[in-house]
Amino acid sequence: MTRVLAIETSCDETACAVVEDGRRALSDVVSTQIDIHRRWGGVVPELASRNHVVQVMPVVDEALARSGVGPEGLDAVAVTSGPGLVGALLVGVQAAKALALAWGKPLVGVNHLEGHLVAAFLAEVPPAFPYLGLVVSGGHTSLYAAHGFGDYRLLGQTRDDAAGEAFDKGAKLLGLPYPGGVAIDRLAKEGDPAAIRFPKAIVKGADLDFSFSGLKTALLHHVKKHGVPEGPALADLCASYQEAIVRALVEKAFRAARRLQFDRLVLAGGVAANSRLRAAAAARAAEYEGMSVFIPPVRLCTDNAAMIAVAGTHALLRGERAGPDLNADPAWRL
Ligand code: KG4
Ligand code: ZN
């Protein structure tokens, strides 16, 4: 049995989890800073770091207490060491280093994107390798071929804004609260996705890449011309904008699956919490015989430490160890 405690502080959630055998979360604690950042309309890096400093040890204590495992029952400490906000990452990295040293346990540095890619292993029915992994979050929109733990190949990514950014910036234009994806998702449920035609968020040529900045500009023009609508018209606008984002994501993912002959697609990252994306991906999969889509429960899609523990467990089993010189790598590419 392998038990790993993981810490995640790459953005605006302070999280800690204890996971057994890379499959079962014994505890999974997430302390969100959404209320702190909301009044600024987005994540303020300095505020994020300061709040991680305040929260990190209480969150670790709570994760340990809820897991029923003491430090002596752990095999390693894993931590997100990149990519993310450098000051935020450093808080988790320093905490993990101190705990690993104090408890005499090995330390493992984990890539945040790998965490998202393997979050589905905490679901009741996990995927099997190989699979196509679509990581869609506030900072990333990347399509990977996942051949095994630690074995990933980047197939395509966004040229400009991430899908989550498209949601967040779009919501800001419409005067909706942060995080915008949640607000648009909720309003869109009442709207008509075919009400307004938005351009396709597709890049010519490099055909597994994404681009969302044109879509954002189209929304800006629409708002400049017609103003921000209210009531049912706002719901229509949200539904149409959301549909354009979802269409691009689903189209690219299935294009890649067909071309590279993958029959499993795993969605991950905060935007995978989007109800329309979940429904559209499932519906599209149903059109292809033998194609299955794995979408983890919402709490595993958004940032959490359990997914970091999954990746950390397999890195540990492969013999990977970080030293006391482990540093935050804000631009770590997977
Ligand atoms: O993975 P995540 O929690 O943090 C990052 O690593 O970025 O993703 C956060 C992003 C935000 O842009 C947020 O608006 C988006 O995920 N998001 C959603 C939904 N819930 C969160 N986007 C669309 N629909 C949702 N229901
Ligand atoms: Zn994330």
pLDDT exceeds 90 at position 44: no
Can you tell me the mean pLDDT for 28-45? Answer: 82
Q: Are residues 91 and 49 in the same domain?
A: yes
Neighbour tally for 229: CB within 10 Å: 15
Closest to 124 in 3D by CA, of 207, 213, 53, 25: 25
Verify that 216 and 153 share a domain, yes or no: yes
Structure tokens at 152: 């990933």
Among candidates 296, 305, 254, which has minimal Cα distance to 60?
305
322 lies in some domain: no
85 and 173 within one domain? no
| Closest ligand, as measured to the CA of 269 | 1
Per the CB < 8 A criterion, the answer to whether 223 and 216 are in contact is: no
> Residue 202: what pLDDT?
67
Q: Which pLDDT band holds residue 47 (cuts at 50, 70, 90)?
A: confident
Question: What is the Cα–Cα distance from 33 to 11, expressed in whole angstroms?
Answer: 9
Determine the Cα–Cα distance for residues 277 and 201; give it in Å rounded to an integer.
15
Based on the domain organization, do 250 and 269 belong to the same domain?
yes
Q: Is the CB of 268 under 6 A from ligand 1?
A: no
Q: Look at residue 204 and tell me whether its pLDDT is greater than 70.
A: no
Query: What is the reported pLDDT for 33?
Result: 80
Q: Please indicate, yes or no, whether residues 164 and 306 belong to a single structural domain of this protein.
A: no
Please check whether residues 113 and 134 belong to one and the same domain. Answer: no
Answer whether 269 contacts ligand 1 (Cβ < 6 A): yes
The answer to whether position 131 is within a domain reads yes
Residues 69 and 177 in one domain: no
State in Å: Cα 138 to ligand 2 middle.
7
Question: Is residue 136 domain-shared with residue 108, that is, in the same domain?
Answer: no
Q: Tokens 């889509």, residue?
A: 293
CA of 136 to the centre of ligand 2 (A): 8
SS3 269: coil
In a domain, 268, yes or no: yes
Is 50 part of any domain? yes
Q: Is the CB of 139 under 6 A from ligand 1?
A: yes
Per the domain annotation, does 333 fall within a domain?
Answer: no
Model confidence band, residue 231 (pLDDT cutoffs 50, 70, 90)? very high
pLDDT tens-digit map of 256-282 = 999 999 999 999 999 999 999 999 999
pLDDT over threshold 90, residue 283 = yes
Looking at residue 205, what is its pLDDT?
A: 64
| Nearby residues for ligand 2 (ion, Cβ within 5 Å) | 137, 303
| Distance separating alpha carbons of residues 275 and 134, to the nearest angstrom | 16
Query: What is the domain range of residue 166?
Result: 127-295
| Count of structural domains within the chain | 2
Taking residues 96-120, report their average pLDDT: 98
Q: Specify whether the CB–CB gap between 143 and 260 falls below 8 A.
A: no
Q: What are phi and psi of 265, to 5 degrees?
A: -125, 130
Distance CA 161, CA 138 (A): 9
Mean pLDDT value across residues 205-220 = 89
> The CATH number of the domain where 58 resides is what?
3.30.420.40
Residue 173 above 90 pLDDT? yes
Collect all residues with Cβ–Cβ distance below 8 Å to 5 and sequence separation of at least 6. 16, 17, 18, 60, 63, 64, 67, 74, 76, 77, 78, 99, 309
pLDDT per position as a tens digit, 124-156: 999 999 999 999 998 899 999 999 999 999 999
Which class for 62: exposed (0-12), middle (13-18), buried (19 or more C-beta within 10 A)? middle
Q: Are 75 and 140 contained in the same domain?
A: no
